[in-house]
Amino acid sequence: MIRAILFDLDETLFDHRSAVAHAVTAWTAALAPCHPLLGEGPALWLRLEDKHLPAWHHGECSFGEQRRRRLRDYCRQMGLAEPADLDDAYADFLTAYEAAWEAFPDAYTVMDAYTGSGLTLGVLTNGQPMQQEAKLRRLGLLDRMDPVLTPDSLGGNFKPSAECYLAAAAKLGLAANEVALVGDNLNLDAIGPTRVGMLGIWLDRYGSATPPPGIPAIRTLADLPAVIPPHAKPERQACLAGHA
Ligand SMILES: [Mg+2]
């Protein structure tokens, strides 16, 4: 029986792609308003996240250093002069990024669907804890998510390592097969947790592919209750039984 649902954050509850599009476009336009590749900046930025974040995940550099590498790479590929101070330049990007933080509307729909259920709702993200908690606070979701799990609190283990999922289940005081993980990344949020016995559910917002056999897929978080029905709290069930 599923007793807890963990949600990925970026591109699952939080609309990271839209915030990046806003921030990258604004940051680039401030340097080069008529840049011919302005419209291609956001997609490049997302590719550079995939390129540079693993070095931090593997302990090869700090979180700040992968940001510098990403920004340096972005400027080089866009033909922009490298900023004299990459940290200052990244701070400008962050200001624009944070101004555009928004949840996907179905994040609230799914929270409401499970309110009053006996299920624990939490977050399992590969992100940096301070920034991820700040996002949840801004979106009004932090009070509804407990725990918020990041590699910092899971022995430095990132998704898709088995140790990450097992440590997350242990933090919940549950067996792996009592925990579901829902997220937009097929490997990190669905296939990886399934390998350790969790219920991995792929959120495929864009209908991009057919999942492997045995991996449930949903197009919106509003469809999650069809996969994991909300159930009443044990106390409420006992109470109702007593008055039957
Ligand atoms: Mg994600």
Pairing of strands 179-183, 148-149: unpaired
Rounded to the nearest angstrom, the distance between the alpha carbon of 32 and the centre of ligand 1 is 30
pTM of the model: 0.89
- Is the confidence at residue 240, as pLDDT, over 60? no
Name the CATH topology of 4-14+102-242. Answer: Rossmann fold (3.40.50)
Rounded to the nearest angstrom, the distance between the alpha carbon of 49 and the centre of ligand 1 is 12
Q: 240 in helix, strand or coil?
A: helix
Rounded to the nearest angstrom, the distance between the alpha carbon of 102 and the centre of ligand 1 is 14
Looking at residue 232, its pLDDT comes to 52
Q: 145 in helix, strand or coil?
A: coil
Interval 76-86 mean pLDDT = 95
Interval 108-123 mean pLDDT = 95
Rounded to the nearest angstrom, the distance between the alpha carbon of 126 and the centre of ligand 1 is 8
Rounded to the nearest angstrom, the distance between the alpha carbon of 143 and the centre of ligand 1 is 20
Interval 77-100 mean pLDDT = 96
**Cβ pair 200, 86 in contact under 8 A:** no
Rounded to the nearest angstrom, the distance between the alpha carbon of 185 and the centre of ligand 1 is 6
Segment 185-238, tens digit of pLDDT? 999 999 999 999 999 999 999 988 888 999 999 999 999 999 999 975 544 444
Interval 160-176 mean pLDDT = 98
- Is the confidence at residue 27, as pLDDT, over 90? yes
Looking at residue 178, its pLDDT comes to 98
Looking at residue 234, its pLDDT comes to 46
Rounded to the nearest angstrom, the distance between the alpha carbon of 84 and the centre of ligand 1 is 32
224-227, long-range: CB < 8 A, 24+ apart: 224/5, 224/110, 224/113, 224/182, 225/110, 225/113, 225/114, 227/201
Rounded to the nearest angstrom, the distance between the alpha carbon of 88 and the centre of ligand 1 is 27
* pLDDT above 70: percentage of residues in the chain: 95
Better pLDDT: 244 or 5: 5
**Cα–Cα distance for residue pair 113/227, rounded to 1 Å:** 12
Rounded to the nearest angstrom, the distance between the alpha carbon of 16 and the centre of ligand 1 is 8
240: phi then psi, degrees, rounded to nearest 5: -65, -40
Domain edges within the chain: 4-14+102-242, 16-99
Looking at residue 184, its pLDDT comes to 97
Rounded to the nearest angstrom, the distance between the alpha carbon of 124 and the centre of ligand 1 is 10
Rounded to the nearest angstrom, the distance between the alpha carbon of 39 and the centre of ligand 1 is 23
**Cα–Cα distance for residue pair 225/114, rounded to 1 Å:** 8
**Cα–Cα distance for residue pair 69/64, rounded to 1 Å:** 9
Rounded to the nearest angstrom, the distance between the alpha carbon of 199 and the centre of ligand 1 is 17
